[in-house]
Each structure stands twice: as C-alpha cells, then as structure tokens.
Structure 1
Amino acid sequence: MSIRDIAVALLLLLSTAPVVAAETIKVGAVVPLTGRYGAGGAQVRAGYELAVEAINTAGGVSVAGKKLPLELRILDDESDATKTVARLETLASEHVVAYLGGFGSDLHAAAASVAEKNKIPYLGVAFALHRIHQQGFRYLFSPYWKSPDVKPVTIDLLRSIPAGERPRTAAIFQERTDWGREMATAWTEAARDAGYQVVVQGEYAPGAKDFSDLIVKAKGASADIVFGVPTPHDGMTMVRQMKELGYTPKLLMLIRAPDVAVWATNLGKDGDDVVMTAPWHHAVRAPGVRELNAAYGKRFGRPTDPNTGPAYACVQILAAAVASAGSLDQRSGARRDRGRRHRHRHRSREISSRRHGDRPADARPVDRRQAGADLAARRGHGELRLSGDSARQAMRPLDRQDFLSFTSSYGAE
C-alpha cells in the first residue's frame, strides 16, 4: 500500500468525522516518554512537534477555505499498554480528529482496538508488528516497514558478503512478544536462501537482566550471527554481557535497540558495528528533509534521529488528508463522500483489503536491488553509517503537494 493510498483512506474516514465547530484541529498523541520505550518515544514526539510547528508556521491547514492551526496534545503512557488505552480514551473525550501513536509494537497493538471502537483514525510509526494489520482494522494506518520485510533484507545482506566469508550459523535471541515471534519466523525462513543454519533459538522476557544462558549457548554453538529485537535497555545489557563472556559474533543484527542516541553514549566503542534496519535517515535527499534537519539540530544539537522522520511524515499525511476532506463537519462531509463512494467503490475496497498497514512502496527500509544498501551500523557519536545511494530512497517526510496532487487525480477518476 502506498503512502498516497493511506492519505486517501484517511480522507474518506476524516470526511465522516463528528460535527466540530473549532478554531483548531485537535490531534491527540499517546507516546511513551518514560519507561522502557522512553528514548524511542522522545524521537517520535520530536517528529510530531516539529511537523506541527512547521505546518502552523506556514499558516495551518486549509479547511473549506479557512486556515486552521493544528493543536497537538501529547500524553505519556509510561511504556504501559494499559495506560495507552486509558490515555486514548481521555483524548477521545476531548474530541480529537485523529490519534498519533507512540513507540513499540505492543503499545500500538493495544491502541488499534481503541481507535477502531472510537472510529478515530490512528497513525503509528516505530512499530513493525505485521499481525495487527491482518485483523481488518479500518482506522489503523502505519507508513512503516513490517516484520516480513526483514526476510528479503536478510537474504540480500548475506548474499552481498563474499561466499568464502559469509556467516554460516546463526543464533536468534527471541523476545517473548508477538513481534519477537514474527521476527524469529522471518529470520528462520530466510536461512535457506541466505545460506545459514539456525543453531540456537532461545526466548527471553522483555526487561530481562541476565542473557548469559543465551550467550553461552550461542558461543558454544559457534554461531556466526546473532539476530534480535531488544528494547534499547535490553540491547545494551545484551551487548555488555556478550563482551564480558568473550563472545564476538561475525555479525550482530539488533533491530530497535540501536535506534536511540543513548546507545552510543552508554556503550561507546562496544556499541559500534551493530547492524540495524534504519526506518529513516537524516541524509535522505527529499523535499522537507533539510528543513526538518535544521529545526531538529537547532532544538537538540545533533543529527535528526531515525524515528523522527517517520513521525514527522505522519503529521504531514494527516494534514494533507484533513485539507483534502475540506471539512470537519460530518454532514457536509457525508454528502460529498456519498458521491465519491459511488464513483470509487472499487478503489475503497482495494484500500480496505490491504489493511492500511502493509508496507508502503516508498517507505521501505531497503532497496532490494542493492544488497544491504540501507542496513546501517550504529557508530559512535550517535551517527548511522549508510552505504549505497539507495539508502537515500528510504522513508522520508513527504512534500504536502504529493498528497494534494494525488487526491486531485483521485477525485477526477
């Protein structure tokens, strides 16, 4: 599903939003600012805030000829799914037009049902759980890579290594979560085509303090690769204990943990050369990226973090959909939408059948034609080192005109 499809599907939902006589467009975000996902949540929050600031500085969102500013309300769920649900209900009572999600697949999974019940569109990044998009949710949108995308990425990465140097054995350190199981499946399925054998696969609970059992088994089996999806805290603990136990695999691929700046700060050189799938990168050459980087650098004094770009794009998608809907009034929106639904019934079914959460074509973490080009090693000083021009085609903040031109052509079909 393309990002433009997401914008159109949002348009159809937003044009049937409740009657609102407002001077602002209220948007509610539930983000983990504390707890185990706090560092990642901070990246997402920054993307939302900077996008809202940029849109409002430019005059706001045009709704039926009137410019309205976005009003962003952010609540901290403390990395607790129960509190995610409670905070979303609070925002619903405040009549937000849409929800913006936080960081972590388990929190997003909890949020999806609330959005569906309340019939409020929910946009989320920083979660790769695919299963949630197979449950028929109409109000869930996620312009972000998903677990099945890791299989071809892994195959391409391993095939890019000269045959004589290619790792042949692997250990999977599987987080005991739905996403952990999905990722373990992806890496197991990739084994045959990538040319490795899984020799160790063991589970651990999120927040575990001791990974020595998994590490000793992987070391004893001479596993050349270690795959995992730990939280930042779990990942740092894992790397420290691997060093203490004298285990240095040829390739360490940890998704999510190295995304945050504290990875380099806390681990120093021990955190170098960890392979990750970057959801976005500040070197992307695309409209809006320079402005985002300038605003982020001014506020935080460092390059824009990987999950800030996708979060920024979420707000752009939402603003474009609101502008295209042309009204926050259910009655006028419903009259206009009836005509569209008659002309585009097949198109709407197509969007719905894709579950709104399939990986967008232009939001892929890698270009599969160039093996390993978008896989990054986390280096010191919070930098991501990417190789290959295709890295610059990864997900980016999109130009608002992209969506307006598409919705115009959609209306003319």
Structure 2
Amino acid sequence: MTAALLVLGATSVRAEDVVMGASLPMAGPLAQFGEVIRDGYEYAVKEINDQGGVQVGDEKRLIKLIVLDNRGDPNQVAGQVRKLVQAEGASVLLGAVTPVFNGPLSAAADQLKVPLVMSLVPIDAWQDAREGGYKYAWDIYAHEPEATKVTWTTADMAETNKKVALFLNTDEDGEIWGRNWTEQASQAGYEVVYTARMPVGTTNFAEYINSAKQAGAEIALGQMVPPDAITLWKQMKALGYGPKLASCEKCGSGDWWPGALGDVAEGTLTSDVWVRGLGGPGVEGVVAALGEKHKGKVLSGAVLSHTVVNVVVDAIERAGTLEADAINAEIAKTDGDYAIGHVAFTVNHGAPLPPIMQQWQDGEAVQVYPVGAASADLQAPAKGLQ
C-alpha cells in the first residue's frame, strides 16, 4: 500500500524551499502519538513561515514539511527516509516516537548523512539500539536513569509496603525502564517482587496479574504501548488487583487513557517532561493553537515537536547553509531555551529534559511531583483500581 503523503508549508516544493521530512505512525498502537507529533510540526512550520521563513545565508526561505504515513509499520521507515531525501529533497529529517520508529529513522539518517532531530524516545533506549551511537541523529527527551528515579520519589509520598510489580513490553523501552527500576529499587528502599515481560499485542494478562497479587505488590509500574496497557488495567480491575500506586509509562500518556478506561484510569501515574505552566519561548502559542484538540498530557508531544523544528531552524540559520555537515555541527552546539524548556545535547547526542510526575485525576493529568504551588496532592490509593 502506498504511504499517505502530507505536504505542509509552501504550496509546492521549490528549489529554494527548506524541505523537512518525517515518517510518522498514523495507524497502529502508536497512532495517537503520530497525530500530535504531526500537529506540532505543522504548527511550528506555519508559525515560522508566517514570519517569513528561515534565514539561510543572505535570503529567507520557506519551510516545506513533508510527512509520510508509515501506517505503524517500522519496516517502512528506511524506504520512506530514502524517498524523503532522494526524491523530495529533504535537507533535514524530523523524528517520530519510541525506539521502534526513531531507531530505523536514525540508522537511515546516518546512512544517508542527513541530520535528524527527534523527541518522544527516551535517550538510553534510543542510543542502546545502535552500538557506537549515531552521528547525524539527535534526541531531545527524558534520560531514563533520572526519569525512573522520579517514580521512587513520588512513591515515598504514599504509605505502601514498598513491594513492586513490573509490567513490561518486550521492547527497547520495556527493557531499559525495567532494568533501571530493578537496579534502583533497593537503593530507594523498595523491592521488586514480580516482573512480567509481555510481547506487544498480548491480550490475556490474568496470569501476570494474579502473580503480582500473590507477591503482595502494592505498587504496579508499567512500560507498555497504550492498547496493551488499557486491556491490562481493565483486567486488573476485573480480577480485583488494586495496587495503592499504579504508574503507566508511554501507555498513560494521552487522553486516550481516561477516554478508554473511564473511572478505572483515576489515579494512574505517568512521568513526563512538561505540563501546562512550564516551558519557554513559544509554549503559549502551542497551547493556544493545539491545547483544545490535544487535551491533557499528550499536548507535551506537540510542545516537543515545536521545539524540534525550532532547534533545526536555529541550527540552519547559524550554519547559513543547507549543507548537511554544517547543519549537523550547529545542532551539536544547541544551548538555548525553547517551548519545552532548556535544550543542550549533553549526553552524547541526547538532550536530557528534567522529569516530572503526573497523575490522572478527574480526567486531567496534573503534576504531583515536584511538589510546589502548581502541583496537586498525590492521590493514594489510586481510586480507579480500588
């Protein structure tokens, strides 16, 4: 099936346009992310073009954004990247989501020697997918050792028996988050008493849930794709497993969570790198333009996508050319404030963002850590699973 093509920006590709290309999952288990990423890119491009475009040397050029729909199939990514670069003339590539898509994107960018800036993929899970790392790919997102530590800091705010069950997909994210949680637990004063590792697409979780119950785990931590985790949460409720704290990473990241689960979603924790009230230059515009369509936590994907485009534009303007190596060298020098906050590539080709913890309360994702004037009280036990 031919991939869908979405062209945004100037009405037709001209030799003088700055072409940016992306391969996004607009179908499949991560389609929700594909939509918000696309919308964030589209808004950023429109905003920049409305101001005259990108300064390249002595002239202003409009951005042409070309988005290919990989239909949730990572095997399509490499071919789509070649099309974007070789047929569409993309000077820069923009990322997708998770190692499943950003991994092959990064490998293709290195092979073709075209700069790629991405987000929504934890730094270690992305870097570990390729021995020796990447030369042309760059990631702006959470760094797992710090993101997983927020789990324990948040858990310290509740009374539990400190026994933990892990529910992990057998993908790169599940591997990295599971390893960090397991290694950090004892130092934080917790004990991982059960670990379930489940292929993406699992539908019957009874065995895993009953094992967690029998182990006496009052804390359940998940790193899963949304459809799997939604089914898991429903079965946890049906089987009477009511942990006092329940976290769902990646899975609990958007309005689809309370939308699919209703009251069962109440109290679910999920970490992030942004919440309304945080951020830097341009964040108000993103919230105003997309905040109604993408309510709740998933809006952070649009803020990150806006940041990605602006990091690329700043690098092009500093380079004064569309020559790949010159742009790549300037991306490396990034050290500034964007919609998501401060961005600097300090972990190899990764720009780690400070993590926060949110909790679904009354259909809204609210910040519960760090504790401050803008934070809500932690709900414990998590009402949805009681």
Q: Could you say which TM-score interval applies, normalised by the shorter chain?
A: 0.7 to 0.9
Contact 2:114 2:324 in 1 (8 A): no
CA distance in 2, matches of 1:103, 1:254: 17
> Residue 37 of structure 1 aligns to which amino acid in structure 2?
L
Contact 2:115 2:324 in 1 (8 A): no
Cα separation, partners in 2 of 1:327 and 1:390, compared to 1, 3 Å: farther
* Aligned pairs for 1:103-114 within 5 A: 103-114=97-108
- Quote the offset at 1:104 in angstroms: 2.1
Contact 1:27 1:97 in 2 (8 A): yes
Cα separation, partners in 2 of 1:45 and 1:169, compared to 1, 3 Å: same
Equivalent residue number for residue 379 of structure 1: 361
> Are 1:226 and 2:220 matched, yes or no?
yes
> Are 1:194 and 2:194 matched, yes or no?
no
Count matched residues.
Answer: 344
Equivalent residue number for residue 6 of structure 2: none
CA distance in 2, matches of 1:392, 1:63: 43
Match of 1:80 among 51, 73, 93: 73
> Are 1:180 and 2:161 matched, yes or no?
no
TM-score by length of 1: 0.77
- Quote the offset at 1:152 in angstroms: 2.3
> Residue 287 of structure 1 aligns to which amino acid in structure 2?
P
CA distance in 1, matches of 2:192, 2:198: 17
CA distance in 2, matches of 1:323, 1:225: 48
Unaligned runs of 5+ in 2: 1-12, 334-343, 375-386
CA distance in 2, matches of 1:48, 1:40: 12
CA distance in 1, matches of 2:147, 2:321: 40
> Are 1:33 and 2:26 matched, yes or no?
yes
Equivalent residue number for residue 44 of structure 2: 51
Equivalent residue number for residue 260 of structure 1: 254
Equivalent residue number for residue 308 of structure 1: 302
Further displaced range: 131-140 or 243-252? 131-140
Q: Deviations over 1:7-61 (max 9, x none)?
A: xxxxxxxxxxxxx993210000111111111011111111111111111111111
State the Cα RMSD in Å. 2.7
Equivalent residue number for residue 99 of structure 1: 93
Name the SS for the 1:387 alignment partner: strand
Cα separation, partners in 2 of 1:69 and 1:277, compared to 1, 3 Å: same
* Aligned pairs for 1:101-250 within 5 A: 101-133=95-127, 135-161=132-158, 165-250=159-244
> Residue 137 of structure 1 aligns to which amino acid in structure 2?
Y
Cα separation, partners in 2 of 1:230 and 1:131, compared to 1, 3 Å: closer
Unaligned runs of 5+ in 1: 1-19, 345-350, 366-373, 394-413
- Quote the offset at 1:263 in angstroms: 1.3
Contact 1:175 1:206 in 2 (8 A): yes
Q: Normalized per residue, which structure has more helix?
A: 1
Larger RCO (CA within 8 A; separation ≥ 6): 1
